């Protein structure tokens, strides 16, 4: 995965607000990465409506 790539939100690990749940199955664009702990990477995804939030790599997949 790289910045600018299109991804689809496939699953959610944790409890999240309804605004995030509504994005399940939608396609967004990777805007940034960050280390969230010693073994995980967070991915900032922005959707068409300009809503953006962080996800774990295993919650998203590259869109075709």
Q: Buried b / exposed e across 8-44, counting CB within 10 Å, b at 16+?
A: bbeeeeeeeeeebeebeeeebbbeeeeeeeeeeebbb
Q: For 1-64, list the strands marked E by DSSP.
A: 6-9, 27-35, 41-47, 52-56, 60-62
Q: Is the pTM of this model over 0.85?
A: yes
Tokens of 49: 């409506």
pLDDT, averaged per 10 consecutive residues of the chain (64 residues), comes to 95 90 95 85 95 94 88
pLDDT tens digits for range 25-39: 999 999 999 987 777
Residue in the structure block whose two tokens are 């396609």 = 27
Tokens of 32: 């940034």
């Amino acid at each position: 995965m790289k910045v600018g790539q299109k991804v689809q939100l496939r699953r959610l690990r944790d409890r999240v607000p309804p605004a995030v749940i509504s994005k399940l199955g939608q396609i967004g664009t990777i805007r940034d990465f960050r280390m969230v702990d010693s073994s995980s990477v967070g991915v900032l995804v922005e959707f068409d409506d300009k809503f953006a939030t962080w996800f774990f790599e295993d919650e998203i997949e590259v869109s075709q």
